[in-house]
């Protein structure tokens, strides 16, 4: 069966590099949403804990239940708040703030310019009044950057807005934690001073900053492997797979391997096939559970760097790894 290798050494290497940026490993909150960007939630949470991280971020309560014993606090970005001493809930609107149970730990998400969700800057006073009046369990305030990976002033005006937010919250007499940095912001900064950074893609080994930035080298954690199902001889002119898109240019030995778009490998365009990590083009169309390669090895590495695959499919590394289905076996090496 196709499986995923998780390279622990590379993961720890990335966490070390990021800890140097944040000043301390306890300031790194591992973003483990969406099955840890496809890497495997429980496997990555256990490794993060082993390294000594204390903080995590997920989307849902369903996710948090699988890893709750491992962290001092887990921020839940999008689910219904309730009280738990080690879970904090993102609150992204005044309506949600009015409805939140009194003792639930909350972190206000402030919209400093991304305009996806969050409390608007001109709603902040109102939000703080509600918190004060209802005596809510106000634990943190955060924002998210829309273009931390771009060489423009956008990041800096968002940061400036967030500084004003901090002042306003402090002026109200609240003492809460503050966080705004994602991977790109942390990788480009030279002066990190917030309470935590919410780091996703970088812990998995991808530095998505454009080449102009001074690059922290990171190492991809995940590789996708498939096993040989059967081999056959193709005679020149014989065609392979659905539609027969690949035509053997000569007699050749090919094998079928047990991975396909059903596992989350992109089907793409058979006229421009993906080249595997070992340099083999996929022959013809990707099936739901199988691909064909000119190889007779028992096991092949499909990819070990999602950035290369992303370039091929004209997307981002996030989408390539997150597409990998949870039912693929994850093996930590
Ligand atoms: C996904 C997410 C992150 C992590 O972003 P990366 O670019 O992967 O580091 C941080 N904060 C929030 C709110 C997110 O949704």
Is the pLDDT reported for residue 213 higher than 90?
no
Is the pLDDT reported for residue 152 higher than 90?
no
Question: To the nearest whole percent, how much of the chain has pLDDT over 70?
Answer: 100
Q: Which atom of ligand 1 is nearest to the CA of 31?
A: 4
In this prediction, residue 238 carries a pLDDT of 98
Q: Which residue has the tokens 């689910």?
A: 79
Would you call 222 helix, strand, or coil by DSSP?
strand
Question: To the nearest whole percent, how much of the chain has pLDDT over 90?
Answer: 95
Q: Sorting pLDDT into bands at 50, 70 and 90, what band is 156?
A: very high
Taking the alpha carbons at both ends of the chain, their separation in whole angstroms is 17
Residue 242 among the catalytic residues: yes
Separation in Å, CA 164 to CA 124, 159, 190: 11, 9, 21
CB of 200 closer than 6 angstroms to any ligand 1 atom: yes
Instruction: Report the pLDDT averaged over residues 102-127.
Output: 97
Rg over alpha carbons for the chain, rounded to the nearest Å, is 23
Q: Sorting pLDDT into bands at 50, 70 and 90, what band is 153?
A: confident
Q: Which atom of ligand 1 is nearest to the CA of 208?
A: 7
Arithmetic mean of pLDDT over the chain: 97
Is the pLDDT reported for residue 214 higher than 90?
no
Other CB atoms within 10 A of residue 7 CB = 17
How many Å lie between the centroid of ligand 1 and the Cα of residue 314? Answer: 21
Separation in Å, CA 252 to CA 229, 241, 257, 283, 293: 17, 15, 16, 12, 10
Residues contacting 111, CB < 8 A, separation 6+:
117, 118, 119, 120, 121, 143
Residue 5 among the catalytic residues: no
Q: Sorting pLDDT into bands at 50, 70 and 90, what band is 283?
A: very high
Is the pLDDT reported for residue 10 higher than 90?
yes
Choose among 10, 58, 7, 8: nearest CA to 31: 58
Choose among 219, 227, 225: nearest CA to 317: 219
DSSP 17-58: HHHHHHSSGGGEEEE-HHHHHTT-HHHHHHHHHHHT--EEEE
* Domains defined along the chain, listed by start: 8-204 (3.20.20.10), 222-304 (2.40.37.10)
CB of 56 closer than 6 angstroms to any ligand 1 atom: no
6-10, 13-17, 188-192, 225-229: the lowest-pLDDT one: 188-192
In this prediction, residue 137 carries a pLDDT of 98
Tokens of 152: 């423009």
Tokens of 234: 């193709």
In this prediction, residue 226 carries a pLDDT of 98
CB of 182 closer than 6 angstroms to any ligand 1 atom: yes
Residues contacting 155, CB < 8 A, separation 6+:
145, 147, 148, 185
Instruction: Report the pLDDT averaged over residues 19-46.
Output: 98
> Out of 65, 132, 170, 242, which one is annotated catalytic?
242
Separation in Å, CA 224 to CA 11, 21, 63, 241: 16, 29, 23, 22
CB of 144 closer than 6 angstroms to any ligand 1 atom: yes
The helix/strand count (H/E) of the chain reads as 10, 17
> Residues 67-82: pLDDT tens digits?
999 999 999 999 999 9
Instruction: Report the pLDDT averaged over residues 46-63.
Output: 98
In this prediction, residue 161 carries a pLDDT of 97
| Strand pairing class (28-31; 197-199) | parallel
Q: Sorting pLDDT into bands at 50, 70 and 90, what band is 193?
A: very high
Tokens of 8: 């622990």
Instruction: Report the pLDDT averaged over residues 153-176.
Output: 96
Q: Sorting pLDDT into bands at 50, 70 and 90, what band is 215?
A: confident
In this prediction, residue 212 carries a pLDDT of 84
Q: Sorting pLDDT into bands at 50, 70 and 90, what band is 271?
A: very high
In the chain, which ranges are E strands?
Answer: 3-6, 28-31, 55-58, 73-76, 87-91, 105-111, 119-120, 137-142, 177-179, 197-199, 222-234, 239-240, 246-247, 252-257, 291-293, 299-303, 329-332
Q: Which atom of ligand 1 is nearest to the CA of 59?
A: 15
Q: Which residue has the tokens 């993060």?
A: 48
User: Taking the mean position of all CA atoms in its chain, how far away is CA 109?
Assistant: 19
């Amino acid at each position: 069966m196709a499986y995923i290798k998780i390279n622990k050494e590379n993961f720890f290497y990335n966490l070390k590099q990021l800890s140097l940026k944040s000043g301390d490993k306890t300031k790194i909150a591992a973003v483990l949403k969406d099955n840890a960007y496809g890497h495997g939630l429980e496997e990555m949470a256990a490794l993060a804990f082993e390294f000594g991280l204390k903080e995590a971020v997920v989307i849902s309560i369903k996710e948090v239940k699988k890893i709750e014993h491992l962290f001092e606090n887990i921020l839940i970005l999008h689910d219904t708040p309730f009280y738990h001493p080690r879970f904090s809930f993102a609150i992204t609107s005044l309506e949600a703030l009015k409805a939140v149970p009194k003792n639930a730990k909350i972190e206000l998400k402030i919209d400093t310019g991304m305009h996806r969700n969050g409390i608007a800057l001109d709603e902040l006073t109102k939000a703080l009044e509600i918190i004060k009046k209802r005596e809510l369990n106000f634990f943190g305030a955060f924002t998210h950057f829309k273009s931390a990976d771009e060489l423009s002033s956008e990041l800096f005006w968002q940061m400036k807005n967030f500084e004003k937010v901090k002042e306003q919250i402090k002026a109200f007499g609240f003492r809460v934690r503050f966080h705004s940095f994602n991977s790109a912001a942390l990788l480009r900064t030279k002066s990190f001073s917030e309470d935590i950074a919410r780091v996703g893609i970088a812990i998995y080994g991808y530095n998505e900053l454009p080449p102009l930035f001074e690059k922290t080298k990171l190492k991809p954690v995940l590789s996708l492997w498939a096993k040989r199902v059967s081999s056959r001889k193709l005679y020149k002119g014989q065609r392979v797979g659905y539609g027969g898109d690949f035509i053997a240019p000569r007699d050749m030995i090919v094998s079928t391997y047990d991975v396909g778009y059903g596992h989350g490998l992109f089907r793409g365009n058979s006229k421009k096939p993906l080249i595997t990590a070992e340099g083999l083009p996929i022959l013809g169309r990707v099936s739901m559970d199988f691909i064909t390669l000119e190889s007779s090895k028992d096991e092949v590495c499909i990819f070990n760097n999602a950035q290369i695959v992303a370039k091929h499919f004209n997307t981002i590394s996030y989408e390539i790894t997150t597409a990998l289905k949870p039912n693929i076996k994850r093996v930590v090496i």
